[in-house]
Structure formats: C-alpha cells, structure tokens
Structure 1
Amino acid sequence: MAVLSLQVKENNYRGHGDSVDQLCWHPSNPDLFVTASGDKTIRIWDVRTTKCIATVNTKGENINICWSPDGQTIAVGNKDDVVTFIDAKTHRSKAEEQFKFEVNEISWNNDNNMFFLTNGNGCINILSYPELKPIQSINAHPSNCICIKFDPMGKYFATGSADALVSLWDVDELVCVRCFSRLDWPVRTLSFSHDGKMLASASEDHFIDIAEVETGEKLWEVQCESPTFTVAWHPKRPLLAFACDDKDGKYDSSREAGTVKLFGLPNDS
C-alpha cells in the first residue's frame, strides 16, 4: 500500500518544563487528554482551548501514564519504578506501589479488573486490580519490553520492544498472532485507533508507522523531525497526538521542550 504524505493542521500544547514522555486520552471524553513529564507533574489538557486545566505534582520524574477505562483513575509511573494511582476528579493520590523490577509502561485491560506492566526483562506482568496482586507473567520479547496498548474493541493488545518489533496479542488466549517490523530502533510507543483498525508505532526512527491491524500492511507514515516519545489516538476520531524529543532544541531550535502535537488523518482511513 502506498505511503501518503499528510497535509494537516497542527496544534501545540505547551506548559511542561521538561520533555513529555507519554500522553493518553480520556477513555470517553474526547476533549481531554493527560500528559506525563520529567518535570514531576502530570497535566490534563482541553483540546477545545489547547489549555491545561489541571496540573498534579508527583514525587518523581514521570515516564509513563494511562487512564483507566472507567475514567475514574489515572496511573502514572516514574523513573524509580513507582506507580501512583490518582483520582481523576480530585487529582489526589489514591494508592502507590513500588515495584522491584524495571517498569517501562503500564495499562489497564478493557474490563478494568487487571493491570499490565512491561518490564526490562522482556516480560509482561499481569496484576489484579485494584488489589495489585500478581496473576501471571508472560515472556513477550527476547529483550526489553518497552510499551503496551490495548485495542478499544477488546480483541488485541500490542507490545513494543528493544528488538524493534511490535507484537500483536490475542487478549483471550494471551498468544502472539502477528508482528510488525518496519521500525529500525527500539519501539518506544504504541496506540490503537478508536475503531481498532489502525495501530500507530514510533521510535527513534523519524517517522510514525501507521499499520492496518488485521493485515499488518502500512497505511501511512507520518514524518517527524526527531525521535517520538509517545503517540495516542483520539478516542472517537482519526486524530493522532504525539510528542517528540525536542528537549534543549537539539533537533529544532524553534521548538520548546514539553510540546504536544496533534495531527488529523483522513476521515476515510
């Protein structure tokens, strides 16, 4: 399938004092998304105004974040492998868990009763929620398992690894059904589109790969000027938000650290 060059509108969301390492949309409110930054805060943004509507201070430099499927809780992890669960309405901490292994990315399952973590040993750790008791550990990749995302339709989840592979997993059987191998660098970030038909993945390659989930074929390639930290599809529309490694103006002196960009893709995708 041909690679398309997208000419689309771009919005920037500025406010963090350090790079934005990850972002995610509210699971049901299409106007809100949350970002995690190394500046020891998370910020909730409103796309209608491009303004930050809430800033929550955290204990450490944040590297991963996710919103629970019921919209009630935000989980944020930092560089010390501490995951904090924050009430999405009061913006106060509800619980905190210190893990004894390297936690790379976190996610609830779609039923909101299990919590998944990827770790530095190439494994996926599955915990009960809200008890956070170990259920199962899966050997997913031969090297560092970096990121994980769930399909909104509840059929698949995907993992990305330092081996530059994206693996697609059957949720019920917990088996790998397909691999995507177009990236050359460790896969940093993944996101499924709202209808579960597209999977975006990115790394230090200066593009975001957008694949058709059921066939693995490339649909689009979004060009970037620097490595991409995080990608996140809008919960209801073909809009892709992402943040790149623009800290200290290393790649483009006209850009500021902590900037999130929003791209709209064709409606007939």
Structure 2
Amino acid sequence: MYDSPAKGILPLPKKTYFDIKREILKVQDARARIHLNFKQPSAPSICMYTFHNTNDNLICLEFNENCNIIAGGFEDSYIQLWSLDGSPLNSIIKGDKNNNQYSRKLIGHSGAVYGISFSPDNRYMLSCSADKTVRLWSLDTYTSLVCYKAHIQPIWDVKFSPFGYYFATASHDQTACLWSCDHIYPLRIFAGHLDDVDCIEFHPNSTYVFTGSADKSIRMWDVTSGECVRVFYGHAQGVSCLAVSPDGRWLASGGHDSIINLWDIGAGRKLKILRGHGRSSIYSLSFSREGNILVSGAGDNSVRIWDVKKGTTEYVSEPEAFQLKNEVNSNIQNAADNKNGNVNKRGDNLNGKRNETIGGVKNDVNVERRRKEVITSLDHMAAFFTKKTPVYKVHFTRRNLCLAAGAFTG
C-alpha cells in the first residue's frame, strides 16, 4: 500500500530469548517448506482432525503456531487442550497432578467460549466468552493470569497480533477493541459498524486491523490513530471469517451467504468471488505461505482449495504439455478409434434411451446426484469431504501443510 505506515511506528517491547528462538524456527521451517508455487499452484496436503462425543457443545477450535497443540472452546464455559505430537502437556509447577497427561481442561469463564488465540511464541493463550471477558492463560502453568473487561456484550472473536503483545477483540456491542497484554483497559475502541462485529484479523505488519460484521461490511482500522481507512462492501449476509495473505496484499472474507470474496487491500476493491460451498456458511479461511493458495472450511462438511491468482492480472496461463512425435501420432489414432466407436454406439444409446422412458416419464438415475452437485467458480482447484463433520478451522503450518478440524455431528 502506498500509504502504509513506516516500519517501527508500532511500539513493541524488547525482544527476548523466546523471540530469537521463534525466528530461528521460522528460518528452519522456511528451508524445509513445501513450495506450492512452481509455475502453477498445486494442492496442499491436508490433515483433518475430527472430534467425537462433543454433544454439540464444541464451538471453536484453534491450532497454536507450532501446530503441536489444538484448543477447543465449549459451550459449558471451559477450554480443552490436546497434544498433537504425542508429548504430554506438563506444567512447570512441581507436583501438578495433571502432568504426563495429553489433554488439559482450563476452567475460568462463566459463559460459552467463542474464540481462542495463541501467542506467536506459544507461551500464552487468549479466550473470549459470553461472560463479556477475555482471559489470558499461561501455557507454562496452564492457569489464568489476567481477566480483561471492557465490552458490555458477549465477545465473539479474539486475535493476537503477529508480533504478540497486542491483541484485538470483536463483540456483540458493535465495537472492536485493541489491547496490550500489560494493560487491563483497551488502548483503542473501533466504533463504526451497525451490527455485531463477528470476526477480527490483523494485517501482517500489525498496524492495521480488519473487522467483519453482521452488517455485511468489512472495515480496516489504523491501529495508531484508531480511524477507519477502508470499508469493503460485497457480501449479501454477515461476514463470518477473514484471512490476510502473508505478503499483506490480499484479503479474503467468508460470509453466511456461502461466498468468499477476494479483495485488493491497497486499492480497496474486490478482485473476484469464489463460489463452491453451496448454501453453507464459511467458517474459516487460510492462505498458504506463498499467498497463492487459499483454503476454506465450511458447514457443508468440506475443505476446498482455491487458486488465488487465477482471474487476476497476476495469473500465468498453464503451459501446454510437451509431447514427443510418437505420442502425437498415437493420440491421433486414438481419436480416430474413439470416433468410430462412438458411431457404432450411437444406435445402442438411442435404444437404451427408449427403454429408459416408461409411460412418458424419463427414469434418469442421475437426477438426485445432479441436485447435490454444486456449481463452482473457475478458480476452484479441489474439494475434500468429511463424512458428517463441519470444518470449523483450517490452518497452514509454516511448512505449508494444511490442518483442518471439526466436530462430528453424526
């Protein structure tokens, strides 16, 4: 963006040992990353986690930055943590009876838990609830450290900034707030939406915040001034999730209208509409590390993959496959054989169609299948279906493996 703020304008605490360790891990993962942008984008590998026996109480799911822990927020006011890499969730408190266990239950809220966010250094976790509070949890002791109070209605979403220290909340009171971990009061209050603020997301440079609302709009806020600098209109119903590309150029928004909009943040305009989830609400979006692949999870029990650049000015047309001379001659012969075979089969097909029509009513065995088919846009690359599990969360790891999670509803 031409009017982007200068680097370092956002005050941050001094770097610690954990920050340096995190940067080293980023470099190591970047070297081992699976690249999805050779000439043409390719579909990523997806690992799906399904949670059983939740009794429809599981509301939200979140992966931590290292992708070795997943947290779930429940309607019964507690948070459950699970280990994904087989290591126990041990506390630094000696004599903790829950040490050497692979899951932990965190109790502190007095209402349903609607949102969870992990800090970039994986040492802290935030949760927001219907009790109008946000809690900061330590992942060293698995205890609640701070309770933040400012909203006067339930809080729907909470997000840590990419650099940590700051976080943002979205609430039913039609406002969003910016906080820092060492202050119990909000630093900024973003007011301007005309309905619930349902989701919130930081720009990668942490100086902008995006909010999606039930008033069908998305607003972009300047963290330093607290002013709204962009407004995006394009959804027919409320906005349910947001994602920003790693390079900070693209914004993807999913709504209850079953569509995904892709926006150019710098120009403030809509680039295209992604269709394919039928009539289901979009629950989660995530960009690949190169920013050329978008993955979405929705209530239609599917994970779908999209080509971000297709249909834009940056799209490179797919090159034709190189063929040897013998292969070309073979293809010509196969085409001729297929033509002759189609002529011979034409009469059989006509007889089959006559037999299929009984009493003037055509018995089309594919009618029911066609009803279930969903029309997708041209940038739709692939779809992966679960049995009866709505996909609550999709997340790309630093090595470009896509993780997905949901609760079984069968």
- Scaled by the length of structure 1, what TM-score is found? 0.73
Residue 51 (structure 2) aligned to one of 15, 39, 54: 15
In structure 2, the gaps of 5 or more residues are 1-41, 86-101, 302-371, 373-384, 401-410
Distance in 1, Cα, partners of 2:392 & 2:197: 26
Question: 1:37-58 deviations in whole A, cap 9, x for unaligned?
Answer: 44643445759xxxxx645444
| 1:218 counterpart residue number | 271
Q: 1:243 to 1:130 in 2, by over 3 A?
A: farther
How many Å apart are 1:110 and its aligned residue? 4.5
How many residue pairs match? The answer is: 252
Distance in 1, Cα, partners of 2:296 & 2:71: 12
| 2:285 counterpart residue number | 231
Residue type of the alignment partner of 2:119: S
How many Å apart are 1:261 and its aligned residue? 4.9
Q: Does 1:254 align with 2:387?
A: yes
Residue 139 (structure 1) aligned to one of 191, 196, 215: 191
CA contact (8 A) 2:284 2:393 kept: no
| 1:50 counterpart residue number | none
Q: 1:83 to 1:106 in 2, by over 3 A?
A: same
Q: Does 1:175 align with 2:213?
A: no
How many Å apart are 1:157 and its aligned residue? 1.5
- Scaled by the length of structure 2, what TM-score is found? 0.51
Distance in 1, Cα, partners of 2:117 & 2:138: 12
Q: Higher relative contact order by CA 8 Å / sep ≥ 6: 1 or 2?
A: 1
Q: Does 1:41 align with 2:59?
A: no
| 2:168 counterpart residue number | 116
Q: Which moved more, 1:99-108 or 1:37-46?
A: 37-46
SS of the equivalent of 2:164 reads: coil
Tell me which protein shows more helix as a share of its residues: 2
How many Å apart are 1:136 and its aligned residue? 3.4
Task: Give the RMSD, CA atoms, in angstroms.
Answer: 3.8
How many Å apart are 1:168 and its aligned residue? 1.7
| 1:3 counterpart residue number | none
Question: 1:203-242 deviations in whole A, cap 9, x for unaligned?
Answer: 21213323232233325625224112333446x4546565
How many Å apart are 1:31 and its aligned residue? 6.5
Q: 1:233 to 1:67 in 2, by over 3 A?
A: farther
| 2:147 counterpart residue number | 96
| Residues 36-75 of structure 1 aligned to structure 2 (within 5 Å) | 36-38=73-75, 40-43=78-81, 46=84, 54-58=103-107, 59=109, 60-75=111-126
Q: Does 1:84 align with 2:110?
A: no
Distance in 1, Cα, partners of 2:133 & 2:195: 22
How many Å apart are 1:117 and its aligned residue? 2.1
In structure 1, the gaps of 5 or more residues are 1-5, 48-52
Q: 1:24 to 1:182 in 2, by over 3 A?
A: farther
| 2:353 counterpart residue number | none
After superposing on structure 2, the runs of 4+ consecutive aligned residues of structure 1 that deviate more than 6 Å are none
Task: Indicate the structure (1 or 2) with the bigger Cα radius of gyration.
Answer: 2
Tell me which protein shows more strand as a share of its residues: 1
SS of the equivalent of 2:204 reads: coil
Question: 1:96-147 deviations in whole A, cap 9, x for unaligned?
Answer: 3455512222233455344322222322223342232233323131222222
CA contact (8 A) 2:60 2:392 kept: no
| 1:204 counterpart residue number | 256
